[in-house]
Structure 1
Protein backbone atom coordinates (compact mmCIF):
# COMPACT_ATOMS: atom_id res chain seq x y z
CA UNK A 1 0.00 0.00 0.00
CA UNK A 2 1.42 3.39 -1.01
CA UNK A 3 1.70 6.27 1.40
CA UNK A 4 -1.28 8.54 1.86
CA UNK A 5 -0.70 11.73 -0.08
CA UNK A 6 -1.92 14.84 1.69
CA UNK A 7 -4.07 17.61 0.31
CA UNK A 8 -2.07 20.82 0.05
CA UNK A 9 -3.76 24.01 1.24
CA UNK A 10 -1.94 26.98 -0.28
CA UNK A 11 -2.14 30.19 1.72
CA UNK A 12 0.27 32.90 2.77
CA UNK A 13 -2.19 34.06 5.43
CA UNK A 14 -4.34 31.81 7.62
CA UNK A 15 -7.62 33.63 8.12
CA UNK A 16 -11.05 32.65 9.40
CA UNK A 17 -11.75 30.78 6.17
CA UNK A 18 -8.56 28.71 6.19
CA UNK A 19 -9.08 27.76 9.85
CA UNK A 20 -12.58 26.52 8.96
CA UNK A 21 -11.15 24.52 6.05
CA UNK A 22 -8.43 22.97 8.24
CA UNK A 23 -11.10 21.98 10.77
CA UNK A 24 -13.29 20.44 8.04
CA UNK A 25 -10.35 18.39 6.74
CA UNK A 26 -9.56 17.21 10.27
CA UNK A 27 -13.18 16.18 10.92
CA UNK A 28 -13.07 14.01 7.81
CA UNK A 29 -9.69 12.53 8.74
CA UNK A 30 -8.08 13.90 5.57
CA UNK A 31 -4.31 14.29 5.68
CA UNK A 32 -3.32 17.80 4.66
CA UNK A 33 -0.40 20.18 4.75
CA UNK A 34 -0.41 23.97 4.82
CA UNK A 35 1.88 25.37 2.12
CA UNK A 36 2.90 29.00 2.58
CA UNK A 37 3.16 30.26 -1.00
CA UNK A 38 5.80 32.78 0.03
CA UNK A 39 8.06 29.76 0.60
CA UNK A 40 6.93 27.76 -2.43
CA UNK A 41 8.84 27.08 -5.63
CA UNK A 42 9.50 24.30 -8.12
CA UNK A 43 12.10 23.40 -10.71
CA UNK A 44 10.77 23.32 -14.25
CA UNK A 45 13.15 20.71 -15.68
CA UNK A 46 12.18 17.05 -15.62
CA UNK A 47 9.02 15.35 -14.43
CA UNK A 48 9.03 13.83 -10.93
CA UNK A 49 9.11 10.04 -10.67
CA UNK A 50 5.93 8.38 -9.46
CA UNK A 51 2.65 10.01 -8.52
CA UNK A 52 2.43 13.70 -7.56
CA UNK A 53 3.40 14.75 -4.05
CA UNK A 54 -0.13 15.91 -3.23
CA UNK A 55 -3.49 14.23 -3.74
CA UNK A 56 -4.85 17.66 -4.71
CA UNK A 57 -4.20 21.31 -3.91
CA UNK A 58 -6.69 23.84 -2.60
CA UNK A 59 -5.40 27.26 -3.62
CA UNK A 60 -6.37 29.85 -1.00
CA UNK A 61 -3.62 32.35 -1.82
CA UNK A 62 -4.86 35.97 -1.66
CA UNK A 63 -2.23 37.33 -4.06
CA UNK A 64 -3.53 36.85 -7.58
CA UNK A 65 -0.04 36.48 -9.06
CA UNK A 66 1.13 33.93 -6.50
CA UNK A 67 -2.16 32.02 -6.78
CA UNK A 68 -1.92 31.84 -10.57
CA UNK A 69 1.67 30.66 -10.71
CA UNK A 70 1.31 28.24 -7.81
CA UNK A 71 -1.52 26.46 -9.63
CA UNK A 72 0.47 26.49 -12.89
CA UNK A 73 3.50 24.92 -11.21
CA UNK A 74 1.47 22.27 -9.41
CA UNK A 75 -0.53 21.38 -12.53
CA UNK A 76 2.75 20.91 -14.41
CA UNK A 77 3.66 18.29 -11.79
CA UNK A 78 0.34 16.47 -12.19
CA UNK A 79 -1.45 17.86 -9.11
CA UNK A 80 -5.18 18.52 -9.41
CA UNK A 81 -5.71 22.13 -8.34
CA UNK A 82 -8.75 23.95 -7.01
CA UNK A 83 -8.97 26.42 -8.52
CA UNK A 84 -7.18 25.72 -11.77
CA UNK A 85 -4.70 28.21 -13.19
CA UNK A 86 -7.07 28.86 -16.09
CA UNK A 87 -9.99 29.72 -13.80
CA UNK A 88 -7.74 32.00 -11.73
CA UNK A 89 -6.44 33.73 -14.86
CA UNK A 90 -9.96 34.30 -16.20
CA UNK A 91 -11.49 35.49 -12.92
CA UNK A 92 -8.53 37.79 -12.36
CA UNK A 93 -9.32 39.68 -15.57
CA UNK A 94 -12.73 41.31 -15.81
CA UNK A 95 -12.58 41.59 -19.60
CA UNK A 96 -11.88 37.88 -20.05
CA UNK A 97 -14.63 37.05 -17.56
CA UNK A 98 -17.15 39.31 -19.31
CA UNK A 99 -16.35 37.85 -22.73
CA UNK A 100 -16.90 34.28 -21.48
CA UNK A 101 -20.13 35.21 -19.69
CA UNK A 102 -21.41 36.91 -22.81
CA UNK A 103 -20.44 33.93 -24.97
CA UNK A 104 -22.39 31.66 -22.61
CA UNK A 105 -25.48 33.87 -22.89
CA UNK A 106 -25.46 34.86 -19.21
CA UNK A 107 -27.17 38.20 -18.44
CA UNK A 108 -24.68 40.87 -17.36
CA UNK A 109 -24.74 44.67 -17.13
CA UNK A 110 -23.94 46.52 -20.36
CA UNK A 111 -20.16 46.73 -20.52
CA UNK A 112 -17.57 48.65 -22.53
CA UNK A 113 -13.77 48.55 -22.67
CA UNK A 114 -11.39 51.31 -23.78
CA UNK A 115 -7.70 50.65 -24.39
CA UNK A 116 -6.53 53.99 -23.02
CA UNK A 117 -7.72 56.48 -20.40
CA UNK A 118 -8.05 59.08 -23.18
CA UNK A 119 -10.64 56.92 -24.93
CA UNK A 120 -12.34 56.03 -21.64
CA UNK A 121 -14.45 59.19 -21.34
CA UNK A 122 -15.80 58.74 -24.87
CA UNK A 123 -16.58 55.09 -24.12
CA UNK A 124 -18.41 56.13 -20.94
CA UNK A 125 -20.45 58.67 -22.86
CA UNK A 126 -21.42 56.08 -25.45
CA UNK A 127 -22.41 53.63 -22.72
CA UNK A 128 -24.50 56.31 -21.01
CA UNK A 129 -24.09 57.90 -17.58
CA UNK A 130 -24.02 56.96 -14.81
CA UNK A 131 -21.33 54.33 -15.30
CA UNK A 132 -19.03 52.37 -13.00
CA UNK A 133 -15.31 52.38 -13.80
CA UNK A 134 -13.50 49.30 -12.50
CA UNK A 135 -9.91 48.05 -12.62
CA UNK A 136 -9.33 44.87 -14.62
CA UNK A 137 -8.01 43.11 -11.53
CA UNK A 138 -8.60 43.49 -7.84
CA UNK A 139 -11.23 42.91 -5.20
CA UNK A 140 -12.90 44.47 -2.16
CA UNK A 141 -14.21 47.35 -4.29
CA UNK A 142 -10.83 49.07 -4.51
CA UNK A 143 -10.31 51.62 -7.31
CA UNK A 144 -13.97 51.28 -8.31
CA UNK A 145 -15.73 54.58 -9.03
CA UNK A 146 -19.25 55.56 -10.03
CA UNK A 147 -19.30 58.62 -12.28
CA UNK A 148 -22.37 60.59 -13.29
CA UNK A 149 -21.08 62.82 -16.07
CA UNK A 150 -18.14 63.34 -18.40
CA UNK A 151 -16.35 65.74 -16.05
CA UNK A 152 -16.33 63.15 -13.26
CA UNK A 153 -15.19 60.47 -15.70
CA UNK A 154 -12.30 62.61 -16.92
CA UNK A 155 -11.19 63.27 -13.33
CA UNK A 156 -11.12 59.54 -12.49
CA UNK A 157 -9.42 58.66 -15.77
CA UNK A 158 -6.77 61.34 -15.28
CA UNK A 159 -5.85 59.57 -12.05
CA UNK A 160 -5.79 56.22 -13.86
CA UNK A 161 -3.44 57.62 -16.51
CA UNK A 162 -0.96 58.58 -13.77
CA UNK A 163 -0.79 55.05 -12.32
CA UNK A 164 2.40 53.16 -13.25
CA UNK A 165 0.79 49.84 -14.19
CA UNK A 166 -0.09 49.58 -17.92
CA UNK A 167 -2.98 47.32 -16.94
CA UNK A 168 -4.58 50.23 -15.07
CA UNK A 169 -4.69 52.12 -18.37
CA UNK A 170 -7.19 49.61 -19.80
CA UNK A 171 -10.57 51.05 -18.90
CA UNK A 172 -13.42 48.69 -18.01
CA UNK A 173 -16.86 50.29 -17.67
CA UNK A 174 -20.28 48.96 -16.74
CA UNK A 175 -23.69 50.54 -16.62
CA UNK A 176 -24.79 51.60 -13.14
CA UNK A 177 -27.58 49.18 -12.20
CA UNK A 178 -30.29 50.60 -9.95
CA UNK A 179 -30.33 47.87 -7.32
CA UNK A 180 -32.44 47.63 -4.13
CA UNK A 181 -29.61 48.54 -1.72
CA UNK A 182 -28.07 45.10 -1.92
CA UNK A 183 -26.44 42.54 -4.16
CA UNK A 184 -26.31 38.74 -3.98
CA UNK A 185 -23.33 36.46 -3.43
CA UNK A 186 -23.76 32.83 -4.51
CA UNK A 187 -21.02 30.34 -3.65
CA UNK A 188 -20.59 27.46 -6.07
CA UNK A 189 -18.37 24.41 -5.50
CA UNK A 190 -18.18 22.31 -8.64
CA UNK A 191 -21.78 21.91 -9.76
CA UNK A 192 -23.15 22.40 -6.23
CA UNK A 193 -24.64 25.72 -5.17
CA UNK A 194 -23.55 25.96 -1.54
CA UNK A 195 -25.89 28.84 -0.75
CA UNK A 196 -26.58 32.52 -1.23
CA UNK A 197 -26.53 35.71 0.82
CA UNK A 198 -27.80 39.22 0.41
CA UNK A 199 -25.16 41.89 1.05
CA UNK A 200 -26.61 45.18 2.26
CA UNK A 201 -24.79 48.48 2.39
CA UNK A 202 -25.59 52.13 3.06
CA UNK A 203 -23.44 53.02 0.03
CA UNK A 204 -23.61 51.81 -3.54
CA UNK A 205 -20.73 49.33 -3.07
CA UNK A 206 -21.82 46.15 -1.29
CA UNK A 207 -18.51 44.37 -0.66
CA UNK A 208 -18.29 42.49 2.64
CA UNK A 209 -14.72 43.77 3.01
CA UNK A 210 -16.15 47.32 3.04
CA UNK A 211 -18.56 46.57 5.86
CA UNK A 212 -21.59 45.28 3.96
CA UNK A 213 -24.04 43.31 6.10
CA UNK A 214 -24.76 39.73 5.06
CA UNK A 215 -28.11 38.00 5.45
CA UNK A 216 -29.40 34.65 4.16
CA UNK A 217 -30.87 34.76 0.67
CA UNK A 218 -33.28 32.10 -0.60
CA UNK A 219 -31.39 30.14 -3.29
CA UNK A 220 -34.10 30.41 -5.93
CA UNK A 221 -33.54 29.08 -9.47
CA UNK A 222 -33.67 32.69 -10.70
CA UNK A 223 -30.38 33.26 -8.87
CA UNK A 224 -28.74 29.83 -8.75
CA UNK A 225 -29.10 28.98 -12.43
CA UNK A 226 -27.16 32.01 -13.75
CA UNK A 227 -24.63 31.59 -10.90
CA UNK A 228 -24.01 27.95 -11.78
CA UNK A 229 -23.79 28.81 -15.48
CA UNK A 230 -21.32 31.62 -14.74
CA UNK A 231 -19.14 29.26 -12.71
CA UNK A 232 -19.08 26.77 -15.58
CA UNK A 233 -18.30 29.52 -18.09
CA UNK A 234 -15.08 30.50 -16.31
CA UNK A 235 -13.89 26.93 -15.85
CA UNK A 236 -15.55 25.80 -12.63
CA UNK A 237 -14.13 25.25 -9.16
CA UNK A 238 -14.87 26.99 -5.87
CA UNK A 239 -16.21 30.38 -6.90
CA UNK A 240 -18.16 33.33 -5.58
CA UNK A 241 -20.62 34.69 -8.12
CA UNK A 242 -21.90 38.22 -7.52
CA UNK A 243 -25.28 39.19 -8.93
CA UNK A 244 -27.36 42.32 -8.85
CA UNK A 245 -31.15 42.38 -9.04
CA UNK A 246 -31.83 44.65 -11.98
CA UNK A 247 -35.24 45.86 -13.15
CA UNK A 248 -35.39 43.07 -15.75
CA UNK A 249 -33.99 40.33 -13.52
CA UNK A 250 -30.67 39.22 -12.00
CA UNK A 251 -27.43 40.19 -13.75
CA UNK A 252 -24.04 38.60 -13.06
CA UNK A 253 -21.54 41.27 -12.02
CA UNK A 254 -18.40 39.17 -11.64
CA UNK A 255 -16.98 35.81 -10.62
CA UNK A 256 -14.41 35.56 -7.82
CA UNK A 257 -11.83 32.77 -7.63
CA UNK A 258 -10.62 33.61 -4.09
CA UNK A 259 -13.81 33.18 -2.08
CA UNK A 260 -13.93 34.77 1.35
CA UNK A 261 -16.90 33.46 3.30
CA UNK A 262 -16.79 34.71 6.88
CA UNK A 263 -19.82 36.98 6.50
CA UNK A 264 -21.58 34.33 4.42
CA UNK A 265 -20.98 31.63 7.05
CA UNK A 266 -22.00 33.83 9.96
CA UNK A 267 -25.21 34.80 8.17
CA UNK A 268 -26.19 31.15 7.71
CA UNK A 269 -24.93 29.76 11.01
CA UNK A 270 -25.18 25.96 11.21
CA UNK A 271 -27.56 25.75 8.24
CA UNK A 272 -24.69 25.84 5.73
CA UNK A 273 -21.07 24.68 6.07
CA UNK A 274 -19.07 26.39 3.34
CA UNK A 275 -15.74 24.86 4.36
CA UNK A 276 -17.15 21.34 4.27
CA UNK A 277 -18.60 21.92 0.79
CA UNK A 278 -15.20 23.18 -0.39
CA UNK A 279 -13.48 20.10 1.07
CA UNK A 280 -16.01 17.83 -0.67
CA UNK A 281 -15.14 19.43 -4.01
CA UNK A 282 -11.40 19.13 -3.40
CA UNK A 283 -11.78 15.44 -2.53
CA UNK A 284 -13.77 14.93 -5.74
CA UNK A 285 -10.88 16.53 -7.63
CA UNK A 286 -8.41 14.23 -5.85
CA UNK A 287 -10.55 11.18 -6.70
CA UNK A 288 -10.70 12.19 -10.35
CA UNK A 289 -6.92 12.61 -10.43
CA UNK A 290 -6.41 9.12 -8.95
CA UNK A 291 -8.70 7.66 -11.60
CA UNK A 292 -6.67 9.30 -14.37
CA UNK A 293 -3.43 8.02 -12.83
CA UNK A 294 -4.78 4.45 -12.86
CA UNK A 295 -5.54 4.54 -16.59
Structure 2
Protein backbone atom coordinates (compact mmCIF):
# COMPACT_ATOMS: atom_id res chain seq x y z
CA UNK A 1 0.00 0.00 0.00
CA UNK A 2 1.44 3.37 -1.04
CA UNK A 3 0.28 6.11 1.35
CA UNK A 4 0.65 9.70 0.21
CA UNK A 5 1.23 12.45 2.79
CA UNK A 6 0.30 15.90 1.45
CA UNK A 7 2.12 18.45 3.62
CA UNK A 8 3.58 21.93 3.63
CA UNK A 9 5.44 21.87 6.97
CA UNK A 10 6.95 18.64 8.32
CA UNK A 11 5.79 18.68 11.94
CA UNK A 12 6.04 15.87 14.48
CA UNK A 13 2.72 14.45 13.24
CA UNK A 14 3.82 14.10 9.62
CA UNK A 15 7.16 12.53 10.59
CA UNK A 16 5.39 10.11 12.93
CA UNK A 17 2.91 9.12 10.24
CA UNK A 18 5.76 8.33 7.83
CA UNK A 19 7.50 6.28 10.52
CA UNK A 20 4.35 4.28 11.33
CA UNK A 21 3.53 3.71 7.65
CA UNK A 22 6.95 2.07 7.28
CA UNK A 23 6.52 0.01 10.47
CA UNK A 24 3.21 -1.33 9.18
CA UNK A 25 4.92 -2.54 6.02
CA UNK A 26 3.60 0.13 3.66
CA UNK A 27 5.37 2.73 1.54
CA UNK A 28 5.08 6.42 2.45
CA UNK A 29 4.89 8.87 -0.46
CA UNK A 30 5.64 12.40 0.84
CA UNK A 31 4.06 15.11 -1.31
CA UNK A 32 5.42 18.60 -0.63
CA UNK A 33 2.46 20.80 -1.55
CA UNK A 34 4.35 24.10 -1.76
CA UNK A 35 6.17 22.92 -4.88
CA UNK A 36 3.20 21.22 -6.54
CA UNK A 37 1.92 22.16 -10.00
CA UNK A 38 -1.36 20.82 -11.43
CA UNK A 39 -2.48 21.32 -15.04
CA UNK A 40 -6.10 21.25 -16.16
CA UNK A 41 -5.23 19.29 -19.32
CA UNK A 42 -2.66 16.82 -17.96
CA UNK A 43 -2.83 13.81 -15.64
CA UNK A 44 -0.27 13.92 -12.85
CA UNK A 45 1.17 10.60 -11.69
CA UNK A 46 1.32 10.96 -7.94
CA UNK A 47 2.33 7.31 -7.39
CA UNK A 48 0.14 6.62 -4.34
CA UNK A 49 -2.99 4.61 -3.59
CA UNK A 50 -4.47 7.46 -1.56
CA UNK A 51 -3.41 10.56 0.38
CA UNK A 52 -3.61 11.79 3.95
CA UNK A 53 -4.11 15.56 4.00
CA UNK A 54 -1.68 17.21 6.43
CA UNK A 55 -1.18 20.78 5.17
CA UNK A 56 -1.08 23.39 7.93
CA UNK A 57 -2.44 26.12 5.64
CA UNK A 58 -6.23 25.86 5.37
CA UNK A 59 -6.29 27.21 1.84
CA UNK A 60 -3.48 24.92 0.70
CA UNK A 61 -5.12 21.91 2.34
CA UNK A 62 -8.43 22.65 0.63
CA UNK A 63 -6.89 23.28 -2.77
CA UNK A 64 -4.56 20.29 -2.76
CA UNK A 65 -7.30 17.93 -1.55
CA UNK A 66 -9.50 19.10 -4.43
CA UNK A 67 -6.74 18.89 -7.04
CA UNK A 68 -5.49 15.48 -5.91
CA UNK A 69 -9.07 14.17 -5.90
CA UNK A 70 -9.52 15.66 -9.36
CA UNK A 71 -6.62 13.50 -10.52
CA UNK A 72 -8.52 10.42 -9.32
CA UNK A 73 -6.86 9.79 -5.94
CA UNK A 74 -8.85 9.48 -2.68
CA UNK A 75 -7.82 12.03 -0.04
CA UNK A 76 -8.49 11.91 3.69
CA UNK A 77 -9.90 14.34 4.38
CA UNK A 78 -11.54 15.27 1.08
CA UNK A 79 -12.11 18.87 0.07
CA UNK A 80 -15.84 18.91 0.90
CA UNK A 81 -15.09 17.79 4.46
CA UNK A 82 -12.46 20.51 4.79
CA UNK A 83 -14.91 23.16 3.59
CA UNK A 84 -17.40 22.11 6.27
CA UNK A 85 -14.71 21.98 8.97
CA UNK A 86 -12.58 25.01 8.32
CA UNK A 87 -15.47 27.44 7.83
CA UNK A 88 -16.87 27.86 11.34
CA UNK A 89 -20.20 29.17 10.05
CA UNK A 90 -20.68 26.06 7.93
CA UNK A 91 -19.73 23.78 10.84
CA UNK A 92 -22.01 25.45 13.36
CA UNK A 93 -25.07 25.71 11.16
CA UNK A 94 -24.75 22.19 9.71
CA UNK A 95 -24.54 20.67 13.18
CA UNK A 96 -27.25 22.89 14.65
CA UNK A 97 -29.70 21.92 11.91
CA UNK A 98 -28.89 18.26 12.65
CA UNK A 99 -30.03 18.78 16.28
CA UNK A 100 -26.48 18.58 17.59
CA UNK A 101 -25.99 21.07 20.40
CA UNK A 102 -23.73 24.01 19.56
CA UNK A 103 -23.29 27.44 21.19
CA UNK A 104 -25.97 29.88 20.04
CA UNK A 105 -24.44 31.69 17.07
CA UNK A 106 -25.31 34.44 14.61
CA UNK A 107 -23.67 35.42 11.33
CA UNK A 108 -24.13 39.12 10.66
CA UNK A 109 -23.37 40.78 7.33
CA UNK A 110 -22.60 44.21 8.79
CA UNK A 111 -21.56 45.81 12.05
CA UNK A 112 -25.01 46.97 13.13
CA UNK A 113 -26.32 43.46 12.56
CA UNK A 114 -23.54 42.09 14.73
CA UNK A 115 -24.45 44.53 17.53
CA UNK A 116 -28.11 43.50 17.26
CA UNK A 117 -27.15 39.82 17.35
CA UNK A 118 -24.91 40.31 20.39
CA UNK A 119 -27.72 42.16 22.18
CA UNK A 120 -30.15 39.30 21.49
CA UNK A 121 -27.69 36.56 22.47
CA UNK A 122 -26.58 38.53 25.53
CA UNK A 123 -23.16 39.77 26.58
CA UNK A 124 -20.50 38.59 27.03
CA UNK A 125 -20.24 37.16 23.54
CA UNK A 126 -17.39 35.57 21.63
CA UNK A 127 -16.36 36.94 18.24
CA UNK A 128 -14.42 34.59 15.99
CA UNK A 129 -12.96 34.81 12.51
CA UNK A 130 -15.08 32.60 10.24
CA UNK A 131 -11.89 30.84 9.18
CA UNK A 132 -8.92 30.43 11.49
CA UNK A 133 -7.25 28.16 14.03
CA UNK A 134 -5.19 28.01 17.23
CA UNK A 135 -7.48 30.55 18.94
CA UNK A 136 -6.10 33.46 16.93
CA UNK A 137 -8.34 36.55 16.88
CA UNK A 138 -10.96 34.84 19.04
CA UNK A 139 -12.11 37.56 21.42
CA UNK A 140 -14.64 38.02 24.24
CA UNK A 141 -16.69 41.22 24.02
CA UNK A 142 -18.43 42.46 27.16
CA UNK A 143 -20.42 45.29 25.59
CA UNK A 144 -21.19 47.15 22.34
CA UNK A 145 -18.10 49.32 22.58
CA UNK A 146 -15.76 46.34 22.93
CA UNK A 147 -17.45 44.52 20.06
CA UNK A 148 -17.16 47.57 17.79
CA UNK A 149 -13.42 47.73 18.50
CA UNK A 150 -12.97 44.08 17.58
CA UNK A 151 -14.99 44.50 14.40
CA UNK A 152 -12.96 47.52 13.37
CA UNK A 153 -9.78 45.53 13.87
CA UNK A 154 -11.13 42.61 11.81
CA UNK A 155 -12.18 44.99 9.03
CA UNK A 156 -8.57 46.01 8.43
CA UNK A 157 -7.13 42.49 8.33
CA UNK A 158 -6.60 40.46 5.17
CA UNK A 159 -9.16 37.83 6.19
CA UNK A 160 -11.43 36.59 3.42
CA UNK A 161 -14.59 37.03 5.51
CA UNK A 162 -13.50 40.24 7.21
CA UNK A 163 -16.81 42.05 6.55
CA UNK A 164 -18.94 39.25 8.02
CA UNK A 165 -19.21 38.72 11.75
CA UNK A 166 -19.44 35.43 13.65
CA UNK A 167 -21.07 36.24 16.99
CA UNK A 168 -21.44 33.43 19.51
CA UNK A 169 -22.63 33.03 23.06
CA UNK A 170 -19.96 32.74 25.74
CA UNK A 171 -20.28 29.25 27.20
CA UNK A 172 -19.51 29.09 30.93
CA UNK A 173 -17.43 25.93 30.81
CA UNK A 174 -14.84 24.70 33.32
CA UNK A 175 -11.22 25.75 32.74
CA UNK A 176 -11.02 23.16 29.97
CA UNK A 177 -12.52 21.75 26.83
CA UNK A 178 -12.46 18.29 25.26
CA UNK A 179 -10.84 17.10 22.03
CA UNK A 180 -12.11 13.76 20.70
CA UNK A 181 -10.55 12.10 17.67
CA UNK A 182 -12.98 10.41 15.28
CA UNK A 183 -11.04 7.97 13.08
CA UNK A 184 -12.85 5.77 10.60
CA UNK A 185 -15.85 4.32 12.41
CA UNK A 186 -14.50 4.84 15.91
CA UNK A 187 -13.65 7.55 18.48
CA UNK A 188 -10.67 5.84 20.12
CA UNK A 189 -8.96 8.60 22.08
CA UNK A 190 -9.43 12.08 23.50
CA UNK A 191 -7.94 14.63 25.86
CA UNK A 192 -8.89 17.48 28.12
CA UNK A 193 -7.26 20.80 27.23
CA UNK A 194 -6.92 22.68 30.52
CA UNK A 195 -6.13 26.37 30.88
CA UNK A 196 -6.62 28.12 34.22
CA UNK A 197 -5.07 31.38 32.97
CA UNK A 198 -7.03 31.96 29.75
CA UNK A 199 -10.67 31.22 28.90
CA UNK A 200 -9.45 30.06 25.48
CA UNK A 201 -8.42 26.43 25.85
CA UNK A 202 -6.28 25.95 22.74
CA UNK A 203 -2.95 24.23 23.42
CA UNK A 204 -1.39 26.84 21.12
CA UNK A 205 -2.36 29.41 23.79
CA UNK A 206 -0.92 27.50 26.72
CA UNK A 207 -3.58 24.92 27.57
CA UNK A 208 -2.22 21.66 28.98
CA UNK A 209 -3.29 18.30 27.59
CA UNK A 210 -4.57 15.75 30.11
CA UNK A 211 -5.85 12.20 29.53
CA UNK A 212 -9.59 11.67 29.11
CA UNK A 213 -11.68 8.52 29.42
CA UNK A 214 -14.27 8.63 26.64
CA UNK A 215 -17.73 7.83 27.93
CA UNK A 216 -20.44 6.35 25.66
CA UNK A 217 -22.14 9.73 25.27
CA UNK A 218 -18.93 11.41 24.05
CA UNK A 219 -18.23 8.56 21.64
CA UNK A 220 -21.75 8.68 20.21
CA UNK A 221 -21.60 12.46 19.89
CA UNK A 222 -18.23 12.49 18.11
CA UNK A 223 -19.39 9.86 15.61
CA UNK A 224 -22.65 11.72 15.01
CA UNK A 225 -20.63 14.86 14.22
CA UNK A 226 -18.47 12.84 11.83
CA UNK A 227 -21.61 11.49 10.13
CA UNK A 228 -22.83 15.04 9.44
CA UNK A 229 -19.48 16.62 8.55
CA UNK A 230 -17.99 13.69 6.66
CA UNK A 231 -14.33 12.78 6.45
CA UNK A 232 -12.22 10.00 7.94
CA UNK A 233 -10.03 11.70 10.57
CA UNK A 234 -11.51 14.55 12.61
CA UNK A 235 -10.68 16.43 15.80
CA UNK A 236 -13.97 17.28 17.52
CA UNK A 237 -13.84 20.08 20.12
CA UNK A 238 -16.47 19.90 22.85
CA UNK A 239 -17.54 22.17 25.70
CA UNK A 240 -19.07 21.00 28.98
CA UNK A 241 -22.06 23.09 30.01
CA UNK A 242 -23.53 22.58 33.48
CA UNK A 243 -27.12 22.74 32.24
CA UNK A 244 -26.96 21.52 28.63
CA UNK A 245 -24.22 18.92 28.87
CA UNK A 246 -21.86 18.44 25.94
CA UNK A 247 -21.83 21.17 23.27
CA UNK A 248 -19.85 21.02 20.02
CA UNK A 249 -17.58 24.02 19.59
CA UNK A 250 -15.58 23.32 16.43
CA UNK A 251 -14.38 20.50 14.18
CA UNK A 252 -10.84 20.24 12.80
CA UNK A 253 -10.26 18.54 9.47
CA UNK A 254 -6.45 18.37 9.78
CA UNK A 255 -6.04 17.75 13.51
CA UNK A 256 -2.75 17.86 15.38
CA UNK A 257 -2.19 14.98 17.79
CA UNK A 258 1.31 15.23 19.23
CA UNK A 259 0.06 16.23 22.70
CA UNK A 260 -2.60 13.52 22.65
CA UNK A 261 0.03 10.84 22.01
CA UNK A 262 2.28 12.31 24.68
CA UNK A 263 -0.24 12.27 27.54
CA UNK A 264 -2.28 9.18 26.61
CA UNK A 265 0.32 6.90 25.04
CA UNK A 266 -2.20 6.11 22.31
CA UNK A 267 -0.58 5.63 18.90
CA UNK A 268 -2.82 7.83 16.73
CA UNK A 269 -0.74 7.36 13.58
CA UNK A 270 -0.77 3.56 13.81
CA UNK A 271 -4.53 3.52 14.47
CA UNK A 272 -5.18 5.82 11.50
CA UNK A 273 -3.03 3.68 9.19
CA UNK A 274 -4.79 0.51 10.41
CA UNK A 275 -8.22 2.01 9.73
CA UNK A 276 -7.14 3.25 6.31
CA UNK A 277 -5.74 -0.20 5.52
CA UNK A 278 -9.12 -1.73 6.42
CA UNK A 279 -10.81 0.78 4.10
CA UNK A 280 -8.32 0.05 1.30
CA UNK A 281 -8.84 -3.73 1.49
CA UNK A 282 -12.60 -3.26 1.16
TM class, shorter-chain normalised? over 0.9
1:293 alignment counterpart: none
SS in 2 for 1:241: strand
Contact 1:56 1:283 in 2 (8 A): no
Aligned residue for 1:168, secondary structure, equals coil
Shift of 1:31: 0.8
TM-score, normalising length: structure 2? 0.94
- In the TM superposition, residue 102 of structure 1 has moved relative to its aligned partner by 1.4
* Residue from 202, 211, 215 that aligns with 1:216: 211
Indicate yes or no: 2:30 matched with 1:34.
Answer: yes
Per the TM alignment, residue 211 of structure 1 is displaced from its structure 2 partner at its CA by: 1.5
Q: Give the aligned CA root-mean-square deviation in angstroms.
A: 1.6
**TM-score (norm. length: structure 1):** 0.90
CA contact (8 A) 2:29 2:48 kept: no
Q: Does 1:7 align with 2:3?
A: yes
1:53 corresponds to: 47
Instruction: Determine if contact 1:58/1:282 at 8 Å carries over to the other structure.
Output: no
Please give the alpha-carbon distance, in whole angstroms, between the structure 2 residues aligned to 1:223 and 1:124. Answer: 30
CA deviation after TM superposition for structure 1 residue 57, in Å: 0.3
Report the Cα distance in structure 2 between the residues aligned to 1:284 and 1:94, rounded to whole angstroms. 31
Q: Deviations over 1:87-124 (max 9, x none)?
A: 01111101111121112211111111101234212211
- How many residue pairs get aligned? The number is 280
* Structure 1 residue 285, shift from structure 2 partner: 4.3
Where 2:133 maps in the other structure, the secondary structure is: coil
Q: Please, which runs of 5 or more residues in structure 2 have no aligned partner?
A: none
Structure 1 residues 189-232: Cα deviation after superposition (integer angstroms, max 9, x where no partner): 12111211111002100001111111111100221211111122
String of CA shifts for 1:169-204, please: whole Å, max 9, x gaps: 211111111111110000111211121111100210
CA 43–281 in structure 1, closer or farther in 2 if over 3 Å, else same: farther
Q: In the aligned structure 1, how far is the partner of 2:277 from the partner of 2:42? A: 27
**Aligned partners of 2:280, 2:41: CA distance in 1, in Å?**
25
Q: Quote the offset at 1:46 in angstroms.
A: 5.1
Alpha-carbon contact 1:113-1:171 (below 8 Å) kept: yes
The 8 Å contact of residues 176 and 192 in structure 2, kept in 1 or not, is answered as: yes
Q: Distance in 1 between matches of 2:160 and 2:12?
A: 34
Match of 1:102 among 96, 100, 106: 96
In the alignment, the residues of structure 2 paired with residue 117 and residue 284 of structure 1 have an alpha-carbon distance, to the nearest angstrom, of 49
Where 1:169 maps in the other structure, the secondary structure is coil
Q: Residue 180 of structure 2 contacts residue 189 of structure 2 at CA under 8 Å; is this kept in 1?
A: yes
Structure 2 match to 1:204:
199
1:91 aligned to 75, 79, 85, which one?
Answer: 85
Measure the CA separation in 2 of the matches of 1:54 and 1:41: 17
Alignment match, 1:113: 107
Q: After superposition, where does 1:149-164 map in structure 2 within 5 Å?
A: 149-164=143-158
The structural deviation recorded for 1:283 is 2.6
Within 1, Cα distance between the matches of 2:76 and 2:36? 17
Superposition map of 1:233-252 within 5 A: 233-247=228-242, 248-252=244-248
Q: Report the Cα distance in structure 1 between the residues aligned to 2:126 and 2:70, rounded to whole angstroms.
A: 38
